[in-house]
Amino acid sequence: MGKEENNDPKDVQRKGKAKMQLKRNIGYFDGVSFIVGSIVGAGIFVSPTGVLKHSLLNVGVALTIWTASGLVSLMGALCYAELGSALPFSGGEYSHIKRGLGSLPAFVFIWTSTFTKPASNAARALLFAEYATQPFYGICPAPDVLKKCLALAVLWSLGILNGLSVKMSAWVQTVFTLLKMMALSVIAVGGIVLLVTRQKESLARFEDMFGSEIPNASQVAEAFFQGLYAYGGWWSLNYMAVNISYLTVLTPKEIVSSVAVAVTWADRVIPSVAWIIPLSVAVSIFGALNCSMFTLGRLSYAGSQSGHLPLLISMLNVHSYTPAPAMIFSTIIASIFIIPSDLIMLTNYFGFSAWLMTGLTCASLIVLRYREPHLHRPYKVFLPVPFMMVAMSFFLVLAPIVWSPNMQYVYAFLFMLGSLIIYLPFIHFKLHFAFLDKITCHLQLLLEVCPADGPAEGKCE
């Protein structure tokens, strides 16, 4: 009789192999590139349409919301700076909520993020396809099928790239970060030049800025979703220059009617070489999508290591030491969100859910301040700031439901509550099915992955 095969995925033998952990391959410059990639991405090229639309074409309200979005993002950055420096664990917000508020809120976060963050990636991929195809069709819209196919191709290309090599992903991020800063500089500087050279004509667009209809609380919240989506990197206030450039050249109605605002801007300002802008914007969005997919894979990995997602997702490829199953998992979900292809709907859905999670993260900071006063904190934010962030989060979550109920927000809220149906039997009572172990083993062999060594709350990569 031969030796009985061990089908327990936790007992995979790795003789002769190095310690199975995420490798620290991200250097200082790579880290800066990922941060900039998170800040400067798809938002500034799609959000101006959404902000103006929900502001009822009121330019004054729209610019006020852009300014307020920057300030709110700055406060959020300060809160996250304290949490990140005090608790530098993989998983970011997930690890902070688990430490501050406990297992159930952390599970609600990972459950919700499992779908909302891929929705954001889907929005970026669709916007990339919008800009990349536009130069080939001129004033005619590109076919939806073509844009969806291109969006799927980009998602899976970056998913495979991030699953194969961290160094390769970091190199791509650095190159595309440099290119995207050139694209935004052209738009921002171009707007300033036009504002100076055509001062009388340009300033006329900003006269009586608050003369249009004032939006209600629900519309203000939805406009904030769009503005805050553009400030996704938290600590950037420089988007105001780009928005003024758009408004200098285009009317509010022209901005609202355009999905690819920068393309319309380029057709008006530099028609002879207008193709440069959509190409540059596509490059910018590509870099932002790469950054987002990189971080999402680490979030799913951390949630799985804590037992809140299937064990397979916390496994690493035996050759590259990357969380390949986590990358595949998040890429599949993002691919599903490509189907509806409504950019405004996707960013609103993402914003609604993400801001509830932001509120929980800032609440965990407050709890930890009082429960663990002696925790080493290299940086401490002014305590009223997280209280204001929690209040802002509740406003953004409740305003659309209370003042103007929209089924997409109701569904999103019910989806969050649905996490309890999964948590109680499978996490709290640890219900387990043996056949899942067999499926996990087969997938391990197929993907060439195995469990990571070390504690669940490992240090960041």
Which pLDDT tens digit goes with each residue over 59-117?
Answer: 788 888 888 888 888 898 889 889 888 887 767 788 889 999 999 999 988 888 887 78
Other CB atoms within 10 A of residue 1 CB: 3
* Top-confidence range, 19-28, 43-52, 168-177, 392-401: 392-401
pLDDT of residue 72: 87
pLDDT single digits (tens) 333-350:
889 888 875 655 666 666
pLDDT single digits (tens) 428-461:
888 888 888 889 899 888 888 888 775 444 444 4
Which tokens is 94 given?
Answer: 């997930």
Helix axes 261-269, 166-197, angle to 10 degrees: 50
When comparing pLDDT for 210 and 311, which is higher? 311
pLDDT of residue 29: 61
CATH 1.20.1740.10 matches 22-451: yes
**Where are the domains positioned within the chain?**
22-451
> 57: exposed, middle or buried (C-beta count within 10 Å: 0-12, 13-18, 19+)?
middle
Which of 151-155, 186-190, 251-255, 258-262 has the least mean pLDDT? 258-262
Q: Tell me which residue of 365, 325, 459, 378 sits closest to 23, measured CA to CA.
A: 459
CA distances from 346 to 43, 80, 185, 187, 225 (A): 12, 25, 27, 25, 11
* Top-confidence range, 242-251, 304-313, 315-324: 304-313
Q: Tell me which residue of 40, 56, 45 sits closest to 259, measured CA to CA.
A: 45
Where does 321-456 show beta strands of DSSP type E?
A: 449-451
| pLDDT score of 370 more than 90 | yes
Q: How confident is the model at residue 371 (pLDDT cuts 50, 70, 90)?
A: very high
- What mean pLDDT comes out for the span 10-36? 57
pLDDT of residue 169: 78
Within 8 A by CB and 6+ apart from 43, the residues are: 229, 230, 231, 232, 239, 347
> 138: exposed, middle or buried (C-beta count within 10 Å: 0-12, 13-18, 19+)?
exposed
pLDDT of residue 346: 62
Distance of alpha carbon 229 from alpha carbon 396, whole angstroms: 13
| Mean pLDDT for all residues in the chain | 76
Q: How confident is the model at residue 258 (pLDDT cuts 50, 70, 90)?
A: low
Which tokens is 248 given?
Answer: 């200098």
The number of helix segments (H) and strand segments (E) in the chain equals 19, 2
Q: How confident is the model at residue 25 (pLDDT cuts 50, 70, 90)?
A: low
